[in-house]
């Protein structure tokens, strides 16, 4: 793990420079330091992404290397360190002391597009459009929603938009997708969890927006979703534990047992 | 598929008798017709259970044969026919035209007990008890709840009590458990979906009720849960589709596309 790239959120240039200097001082080869990724970067052993989950989402599909996310303040779900953990990170880097956290991408396609996303595919009406009739079908069944839209998310995306709409939290290693309606009529509000071996078809009665990882890709009334062979690799410190992110970000309980154990 | 047992909910004795007569007329061997199961029944190719999901839950663990559920009115999640489908059922039975729907049981154990359940293990304070501190831990993490209790459910149980508490709907073939807090403090209300390869430990700061498939088994402050090797086999008509039960029972959308397709 010798050659390193750094990608930073524009307002975090200062921190990126601190990282660059420190890494050089520690005799690592920093091949690029950039805030704009326009094409696939290659030729580094690892890419450091300095920014939040949004910055990671935007850049990670363009990178071929494993990535390590650094977030200001508290941890994000995709970040492995906060920007204050530089010393600890340098130590882990020297000892190559990481665990691989592999996340699968979704493939979203129809006859016009073939795209990939890490968190979710959101099919959603535009504000001026009427509510839409949606069919979500797969080998083992079909559901219908009269709603503003529907989200199909990976376990990674289950803590993103789907969670805001009432979805469950899927641990990253659950082999499933989560289907969550957006503002459905008729109380059909629950998420449906389906095996990730299913190929999901989404059909609507007119064209609505298709948004992948927050990026609008067009207006469609039909597309399919399946698990892709493509994965991204997040490097995590060895003591990383997904449930910590949940507890930190969501106040998901605290350890009441410290006094009684 | 020649020898048949019939178990019925006490208030459905009349229907059980109609089933028995018809089966005998069609030259099947009816080995027992009973409303009380006190020990394991053996020696039949299939057991018909006339009653709702509750009757099936109560009896299925005592049976060694595949089962077919018959419910009055609408379908339950575990029933395969309504009691009005006798003709269709006889036809399917003669042609042996069923699909096997296998459901795994949970094993729930500590040093005092070893029990099995199909839907869920519910750990819950008694009404006069104070809220309880709960730790739910497994290899990949640990969550804490200050709550009235917690439910660990199978995909089968995801449409039972967990659903009433805001959980998601897991298709039967998802390899996961659902952990759902009961009346938690601090807004930690979402279900957490974990792979069914995990062994889950539930620890509480004093003894509360442990309820398996609706049956109280004792008061404990510690127990473990894992997927059991034991499965039950539900026989379904070939056109059965789980999403139909959801749509029928929960008004989960209707097909708006009938006019436009």
Do B251 and A186 lie within an 8 Å CB cutoff?
yes
- Mean pLDDT, chain A, rounded, equals 90
Does residue B260 sit within a domain?
no
Does residue A9 sit within a domain?
yes
Give the gap in angstroms from C-alpha B59 to the nearest C-alpha of chain A: 27
Consecutive 10-residue averages of pLDDT for chain B (261 residues): 90 95 95 80 88 89 90 83 94 95 96 96 96 91 91 96 93 96 82 96 97 96 96 92 75 55 41
Residues B13 and B71 in one domain: yes
Residues B119 and B85 in one domain: no
Residues A244 and A185 in one domain: no
Residues A56 and A30 in one domain: yes
Tell me the percentage of chain A whose pLDDT exceeds 90.
73
Is B160 part of any known ligand binding site? yes
Q: Give Dmax over CA atoms of chain A in angstroms.
A: 61
Residues B190 and B110 in one domain: yes
CATH of the domain at A125: 2.60.200.30
Of the two residues A80 and A220, the one the predictor is more confident about is: A220
Q: What is the pLDDT of residue A261?
A: 41
Does residue B212 sit within a domain?
yes
Token look-up 């030729």 returns: A43
Q: What is the pLDDT of residue B60?
A: 87
Q: What is the pLDDT of residue A157?
A: 95
Q: Which residues of A are annotated as a binding site?
A: 53-54, 58, 119-120, 130, 146, 148, 159-164, 183
Does residue B244 sit within a domain?
no
Residue A223 clears pLDDT 70, i.e. is over it: yes
Does residue B120 sit within a domain?
yes
Of B142, B155, B184, the CB nearest to A243: B142
Q: What is the pLDDT of residue A260?
A: 40
Alpha helices by DSSP H, A61-212: 86-94, 161-164
Give the gap in angstroms from C-alpha B105 to the nearest C-alpha of chain A: 19
Does residue A233 sit within a domain?
no
Task: Over range A180-196, report the average pLDDT.
Answer: 88
Of A168, A174, A195, the CB nearest to B173: A195
Q: What is the pLDDT of residue A136?
A: 94
**Is A53 labeled as catalytic in the residue annotation?**
yes
Question: In angstroms, rounded to a whole number, what is the distance separating the alpha carbons of residues A152 and A173?
Answer: 17
With H, G, I as helix, E, B as strand and everything else as coil, classify residue B91: helix
Residues A28 and A132 in one domain: no
Do B241 and A141 lie within an 8 Å CB cutoff?
yes
Question: In angstroms, rounded to a whole number, what is the distance separating the alpha carbons of residues B32 and A259?
Answer: 57
Residue A253 clears pLDDT 60, i.e. is over it: no
Question: In angstroms, rounded to a whole number, what is the distance separating the alpha carbons of residues B164 and B167?
Answer: 7
Domain that holds residue B150: 105-229
Residues B111 and B90 in one domain: no
CATH of the domain at A53: 3.40.50.10330
Task: Over range A88-107, report the average pLDDT.
Answer: 95
Residues B15 and B86 in one domain: yes
| Cβ contact B67:B60 at 8 Å | yes
Tokens of B21: 């007569």
Is B148 part of any known ligand binding site? yes
Residue A246 clears pLDDT 80, i.e. is over it: no
Q: What is the pLDDT of residue B111?
A: 97
Q: What is the pLDDT of residue B260?
A: 40
Cα–Cα–Cα angle for A226, A194, A125, rounded to 5 degrees: 65
- What's B87's DSSP letter? H
Residues B167 and B126 in one domain: yes
Q: What is the pLDDT of residue B261?
A: 41
Does residue B255 sit within a domain?
no
Residues A111 and A222 in one domain: yes
Q: How confident is the model at residue A37 (pLDDT cuts 50, 70, 90)?
A: confident
Of A190, A194, A203, the CB nearest to B174: A194
User: Of the given ranges (A20-29, A70-79, A89-98, A112-121), which has the lowest mean pLDDT?
Assistant: A70-79
Residues A127 and A176 in one domain: yes
| Cβ contact A210:A220 at 8 Å | yes
Question: In angstroms, rounded to a whole number, what is the distance separating the alpha carbons of residues A171 and B195?
Answer: 8
Do B168 and A247 lie within an 8 Å CB cutoff?
no
Q: What is the pLDDT of residue B252?
A: 62
Q: Structural domain tally of chain A? A: 2
């Amino acid at each position: 793990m010798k050659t390193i790239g750094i990608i930073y959120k524009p307002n975090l240039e200062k921190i990126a420079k601190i990282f660059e200097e420190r890494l050089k001082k520690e005799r690592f080869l920093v091949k690029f330091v950039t805030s704009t990724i326009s094409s696939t970067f290659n030729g580094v052993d690892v890419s450091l992404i300095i920014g939040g989950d949004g910055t990671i989402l935007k850049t990670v599909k363009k990178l071929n290397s494993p990535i390590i996310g650094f977030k200001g303040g508290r941890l994000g779900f995709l970040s492995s360190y906060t920007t204050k953990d530089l010393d600890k990170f340098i130590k882990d880097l020297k000892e190559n002391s990481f665990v691989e956290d592999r996340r699968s991408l979704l493939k979203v396609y129809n006859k016009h597009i073939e795209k990939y996303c890490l968190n979710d595919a959101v099919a959603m009406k535009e504000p001026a459009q009427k509510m839409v009739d949606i069919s979500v079908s797969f080998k083992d069944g079909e559901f219908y929603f009269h709603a503003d839209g529907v989200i199909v998310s990976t376990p990674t995306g289950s803590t993103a938009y789907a969670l805001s709409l009432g979805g469950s939290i899927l641990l990253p290693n659950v082999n499933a997708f989560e289907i969550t309606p957006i503002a459905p009529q008729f109380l059909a509000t629950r998420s449906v969890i389906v095996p990730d071996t299913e190929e999901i078809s989404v059909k609507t009665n007119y064209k609505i927006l298709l948004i992948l990882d927050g990026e609008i890709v067009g207006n469609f009334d039909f597309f399919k979703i399946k698990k892709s062979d493509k994965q991204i690799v997040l490097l995590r410190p060895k003591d990383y534990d997904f449930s910590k992110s949940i507890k930190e970000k969501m106040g998901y309980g605290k350890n009441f047992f410290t006094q009684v154990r």
